[in-house]
Amino acid sequence: MASIKDVAAQAGLSVATVSRVLNDHPSVSEDARRRVLAAVQTLGYRPNALARSLRTDQTRTLGLVISDVMNPYFTELARSVEEEARALGYSVIIGNADERPELQDHHVRTLLDRRIDGLLVSPTDGGSPLMLDAARAGTPMVFVDRWIPGVDVPVVRSDGQAAVRDLVAHLHRIGHRRLAIIAGPAATTTGRERVDAFRAALREHGLELPGTYIGQGDFQAGSGRRVTDGFLDLAEPPEVVFAADNLMALGALDAVRARGLRVPDDIALAAFDDIPWFVHTDPPVTAIAQPTGALGRAAVRALVDRIEGRPGASVTLPARLVVRRSCGEPVPPQSPSPVRRSTP
Amino acid sequence: MASIKDVAAQAGLSVATVSRVLNDHPSVSEDARRRVLAAVQTLGYRPNALARSLRTDQTRTLGLVISDVMNPYFTELARSVEEEARALGYSVIIGNADERPELQDHHVRTLLDRRIDGLLVSPTDGGSPLMLDAARAGTPMVFVDRWIPGVDVPVVRSDGQAAVRDLVAHLHRIGHRRLAIIAGPAATTTGRERVDAFRAALREHGLELPGTYIGQGDFQAGSGRRVTDGFLDLAEPPEVVFAADNLMALGALDAVRARGLRVPDDIALAAFDDIPWFVHTDPPVTAIAQPTGALGRAAVRALVDRIEGRPGASVTLPARLVVRRSCGEPVPPQSPSPVRRSTP
DNA sequence: CCTCCTCGTGGAATCGATTACACGAGGGAT
DNA sequence: ATCCCTCGTGTAATCGATTCCACGAGGAGG
């Protein structure tokens, strides 16, 4: 592959001049510029990003470590992150932690070794020493969706508390009293927060959340299935299951279906995170929708702010309840389909 | 950030010796090794991947350019690719082309600039000069899922012909005669092949595929909606719509639902690519399942073979029909749920 | 005791870029 | 005519690693 030296030779100039042309530095003659550009053309030269980054100490690359690529929520987040980053002149390297702390660490390490300019993380756990050290050492970092308390890093997230309250009110109005939740891992903020919000909302209606109605999941489909099975085996099964993410809701549907039961007649279902498929499931699933695209974009802006020396603020955006039929009547006039693809 | 020089100083040795320890070169004394390791520990040193790659001319990184991250099929592909690559000691950088040729080019260029060791592509179009040049110039490359004819690059893909024939036989048996297809872009091999296979299978039953029953889609949900609307507006609408991918099937469901019609009573639906949600849609969707994980793994192995100087062979794996209820009776005894997550 | 190897180590070149500094040519002000 | 800037260019240092080559110490063999 042609290097800058080859271009210099071909153009009959020094590498310094070639470099100046390529970075359009002002003091270079029109003649030199033309010759360099011609040489670049004929050699098909492309600058070596590694060499450039080594010298300039910046990669114009962001690392994004997400908890699970197979989760449509994170997939959409990744898409909006890449889009916004590209608009700001950055590339993104995605690492998929698959909800496994050791994999998360692997990716953080690899990204740091590559000297990315900044890191966007949705932590799977309480934070490994590696990540905490990196944050303390001054690596620009922003938490997105989930975060780690006690670390001085901006957090871009969605607040589901009001939406959860709306959900519980909706369930209560329909007549449900025995409400259960499939929780996410206690090591994650979203895992804890959603349970807390749920419990607080129940209390407003004078309801309890007994221990047997809190199932421990891990944000993946298998755990949703397992926990739902447990609920259905109880002497007094819940009337509603609220899954703390969409994959566990998928698992819950699997479990219900495997027993030949029906939603919402035999048991009602609601989920955190709205995805396009929830419109077409049997029945359409009532869900709490996060402003995913906006979160991704805000996270990138906060991170780039930090990288470029500006403060970089935390952002919290509200989630909202989308009522469909999976919790029973009343059916709303027309449940809107979550909007994808087109960014207005 | 500490460099190898700092480690050398801390250990009281030269950078050469430090480097030898780090790459566990045989000729280094036990004493030196201990001192270097201690220095690495206290400084929290991590080698700079950029510098290393610049010197050794290899990044141990694979580029993967996929057509659309929001498509669960590609998402699963990406996951299996990363998994296999990691097992072989490689990292993966994913570029999302979003079915747009110019974005695909952007990512290929960026990846090439980073001097990735090899490229895995699922081309969105007939191939830009950039990509063809790279292939000709000897960049190790493998096509996955889709490919470009006339380029000397191994292809790892799934053959759906037999499964499409099974599907058409199934539809014919049920009594359907007017079958339509939502095709993918003609610029992609999968776009063309699926139409061809469908037409050939119809012919075996003495059926035609009229032009009005071929809708031009782009593998994204919006086009599925649009095309299905067109079908439903025909004087004689088809009895079955076969969507060439899962997102267009989602769009088709949207369109049918918007008119207050029912699947399969008013119109039947089948799709290429099976995903977990198809089990729980209303009704469960009959689909053609690709061995996605196996494809991703085979593609990585082929690419790594090329990179490491071995031949690197093309692979074709069969797809299979999964019958559910979206095409009407007969209902199979129990339609299996596609397996995710766990790799056996 | 001398010679020859082997082993462990360090010096320095190298990868491909960027950039500080030096330098010569040309033009304007004095 | 002299001085001083500005402009365009080139030389060389530098980023952080790897690796070829040279070198000194020590052991084996004659």
pLDDT tens digits for range A10-34:
999 999 999 999 998 988 999 999 9
d(CA A154, CA A140): 10
Inter-chain CB proximity B59 and A79 less than 8 Å: no
Residue B31, CB, strand C, below 7 Å: yes
In eight-state DSSP terms, residue A100 is -
What values do phi and psi take at B275, rounded to 5? -140, 160
Point out the residue among A1, A115, A281 whose CB comes nearest to the CB of B50.
A115
d(CA B299, CA B84): 9
d(CA B191, CA B223): 13
In tens, the pLDDT along A308-330 reads 999 889 999 999 999 999 998 75
Q: Which CATH class name applies to A159-291?
A: alpha beta
Q: Please report the number of interchain residue pairs, chain A to chain B, with beta-carbon separation below 8 angstroms.
A: 121
Q: Tell me the three state secondary structure of residue B96.
A: strand
How much is the pLDDT for A335?
A: 47
Residue A59, CB, strand C, below 7 Å: no
- For B46, which residue in chain A has the nearest alpha carbon? A113
Residue A15, CB, strand C, below 7 Å: yes
Q: Residue A79's CB: how many other CB atoms inside 10 A?
A: 21
Mean pLDDT of B98-116: 95
For chain A, how far is it from start to end, CA to CA, in angstroms?
42
Per-residue pLDDT at A67 exceeds 50: yes
Which amino acid is located at A61 in the chain?
A: T
Per-residue pLDDT at A336 exceeds 70: no
Supply B260's token pair. Answer: 């207050």
Query: Shortest Cα distance from A280 to chain B (angstroms)?
Result: 5
Which amino acid is located at B122 in the chain?
A: S
Q: Tell me the three state secondary structure of residue B126.
A: coil
Listed by number, the residues of chain A in 105-124 with a beta carbon closer than 8 Å to a beta carbon of chain B are 106, 109-110, 112-115
d(CA B174, CA B168): 10
DSSP for B200-212?
Answer: HHHHHTT----GG
Residue A47, CB, strand C, below 7 Å: yes
In terms of average pLDDT, the best of A321-330, B22-31, B87-96 is B87-96
Provide, in whole angstroms, the distance separating residue A237's CA from nucleotide D9's C1'. Answer: 82
Q: Tell me the three state secondary structure of residue B226.
A: helix
Mean pLDDT of A241-263: 94
Mean pLDDT of B13-37: 94
| Antiparallel, parallel or unpaired: β A286-289 and A320-322 | antiparallel
Residue B39, CB, strand D, below 7 Å: no
Using a CB–CB cutoff of 8 Å, tell me whether A335 touches chain B: no
Q: Which CATH number fits domain B159-290: 3.40.50.2300, 2.30.29.30, 3.40.190.290, 3.40.50.1000?
A: 3.40.50.2300
Lowest mean pLDDT among A242-246, B51-55, B245-249, B310-314: B310-314
Mean pLDDT of A77-90: 97
Show Cβ contacts of residue A212 under 8 Å, excluding neighbours closer than 6 positions: A234
d(CA A155, CA A122): 10
B4-47, CATH topology level: 434 Repressor (Amino-terminal Domain) (1.10.260)
**Average per-residue pLDDT in chain B?**
92
Q: Which CATH class name applies to A57-157+293-316?
A: alpha beta
How much is the pLDDT for A330?
A: 59
Per-residue pLDDT at B110 exceeds 50: yes
Per-residue pLDDT at B344 exceeds 80: no
In tens, the pLDDT along A35-63 reads 999 999 999 999 999 999 999 999 999 99
DSSP for B251-309?
Answer: HHHHHHHHTT--TTTT-EEEEES--GGGGTBSSPPEEEEP-HHHHHHHHHHHHHHHHTT
Q: How would you classify residue A99: left for phi > 0, otherwise alpha for psi between -120 and 50, otherwise beta?
A: left
How much is the pLDDT for B343?
A: 35
Per-residue pLDDT at A331 exceeds 90: no
Contacts of A277 in chain B (CB under 8 A): 250, 277, 280-281
Segments making up each domain of chain A, as ranges: 4-47, 57-157+293-316, 159-291
In tens, the pLDDT along B201-260 reads 999 999 999 999 999 999 999 999 999 999 999 999 999 999 999 999 999 999 999 999
Classify each residue of B228-247 as buried b or exposed e, where b means 16 or more C-beta atoms within 10 Å of its C-beta.
bbbbbeeeebbbbbbbbbbb
Q: Which CATH class name applies to B57-157+293-318?
A: alpha beta
Per-residue pLDDT at A292 exceeds 50: yes
d(CA A128, CA A122): 13
In tens, the pLDDT along A115-126 reads 999 999 999 987
| Minimum CA–C1' distance nucleotide for B53 | D17
In tens, the pLDDT along B137-180 reads 999 999 999 999 989 999 999 999 999 999 999 999 999 999 99
Using a CB–CB cutoff of 8 Å, tell me whether B55 touches chain A: no
How much is the pLDDT for A341?
A: 40
Residue A5, CB, strand C, below 7 Å: yes
Distance of CA B39 to the CA centre of its chain: 44
Inter-chain CB proximity A47 and B72 less than 8 Å: no
Residue B51, CB, strand D, below 7 Å: yes
d(CA B328, CA B321): 15
Contacts of A221 in chain B (CB under 8 A): 276, 340-341
How much is the pLDDT for A343?
A: 35
Intrachain domains A57-157+293-316 and A159-291 with the same fold: yes
In tens, the pLDDT along A130-181 reads 999 999 999 999 999 999 998 999 999 999 999 999 999 999 999 999 999 9
Nucleotides in D strand less than 7 A from protein CB: 7-12, 14-20
More confident residue, B207 or A283: B207
Using a CB–CB cutoff of 8 Å, tell me whether B280 touches chain A: yes
